[in-house]
Amino acid sequence: MMTVDKYLRRIGYDGSQEPVLATLQAVQKAHLTSVPYENLDLLYRRECSLAVEALYDKIVNRRRGGYCFELNGLFAWLLRQLGFQVTEFFGRWLIGESLAVPKRRHRILRVDLPEGQYLADAGVGRVCPLTPLRLEADAIQEREGVHYRIVAEPVHGWIVQVEADNGYANFYSFTEDPQQAIDFAYPHYYCATHPDSPFLVKTLVHLATPQGRNSVADAFDPETGLKARLFRIGQGEGKVKEFLVRTEAEFQAGLRDYFGIDWKG
């Protein structure tokens, strides 16, 4: 049975359920600091359904994570159950992309409130705003010490930007064409099956914590000359513990200890 209360327990949230801005901010932060971004099902070619019942079972019942189509798909369900007005959009992931106009493969949410419209996104596998950004052109918005802004552009529509060393870098973009859940089936199929999909070739595991960001990525092992996995674990005060794991058993143990993922590869 799918219940809001069990979902909120999963993300460690016990505050107000009133559909107001403060609730939206707190629920998104709780989600991003409890549910990891991870592509393990895609990487290991496991079945990966976007049906809300399957997402609830995976993320809430089995305490797994997911990637943007999964995380924001279920997050949209939660917000609607709480009474928020939610519209879903396709996004183009821009940061780190070589193409000026890459394909659309990001799912984001707009939440309409009396204070304005906000972008809610619980499905980003890197440093990102822990609370929603107001959809307002050119306004500088600070989150966790990082500055963001949203600018209008003829081709991309809205571009969310993040402050970088030399100005602002394009993060992701979207146009305000409302999407239904079924519309995400074909980009999800690309991500899950196409040989060019980045989700099929590299390990992506991330989780924001009060001590800093935890992550796992593929790495080269200088001792063996073979592929390994690098864990980077936040220790607080900007300190990070790094270690390589070389076996599947070590990988599984790290996922349990630092991300709460019970995984059998």
Give the tens place of pLDDT for each residue, 22-35.
Answer: 999 999 999 999 99
Is residue 122 domain-shared with residue 234, that is, in the same domain?
no
Of these residues, 31, 41, 48, 106, which one is catalytic? 106
**Catalytic hit among 31, 41, 48, 68:** 68
* Mean pLDDT for all residues in the chain: 95
Q: Determine whether 194 is an active site residue.
A: no
Percent of the chain whose pLDDT exceeds 90: 91
Q: Identify whether 128 is a catalytic site residue.
A: no
**What pLDDT digit, counting tens, does each position of 59-81 carry?**
999 999 999 999 999 999 999 99
Residue 203 lies in a domain: no
Catalytic residue among 121, 128, 156, 188: 121
User: pLDDT class for 101, splitting at 50, 70, 90?
Assistant: confident
Q: Are 87 and 79 in contact (CB under 8 A)?
A: no
What is the predicted pLDDT for the residue at 265?
Answer: 64
Task: Report, as an integer, the average pLDDT of 233-258.
Answer: 95
Looking at the fold, whether 30 and 70 belong to one and the same domain comes out as yes
Q: Are residues 230 and 157 in the same domain?
A: no
**In this structure, are 90 and 189 located in the same domain?**
yes
Please check whether residue 131 lies inside any domain of the structure: yes
Active site residue 177: no
Regarding whether 218 and 99 lie in a shared domain, the answer is no
* CATH code of residue 18: 3.30.2140.20
Residue 125 shares a structural domain with residue 242: no
CA distances (Å), 76 to each of 52, 83, 201, 230, in order?
10, 11, 28, 32
The whole domain housing 232 covers 210-259
pTM: 0.96
Q: What is the pLDDT of residue 237?
A: 92
Asked if residue 239 lies in contact with residue 252, where contact means CB atoms within 8 angstroms, the answer is: no
Do residues 63 and 90 share a domain?
Answer: yes
pLDDT of residue 225: 86
Q: Are residues 107 and 171 in the same domain?
A: yes
Residue 14 predicted with pLDDT over 80: yes
pLDDT number for residue 81: 98
Q: What is the number of structural domains in the chain?
A: 2
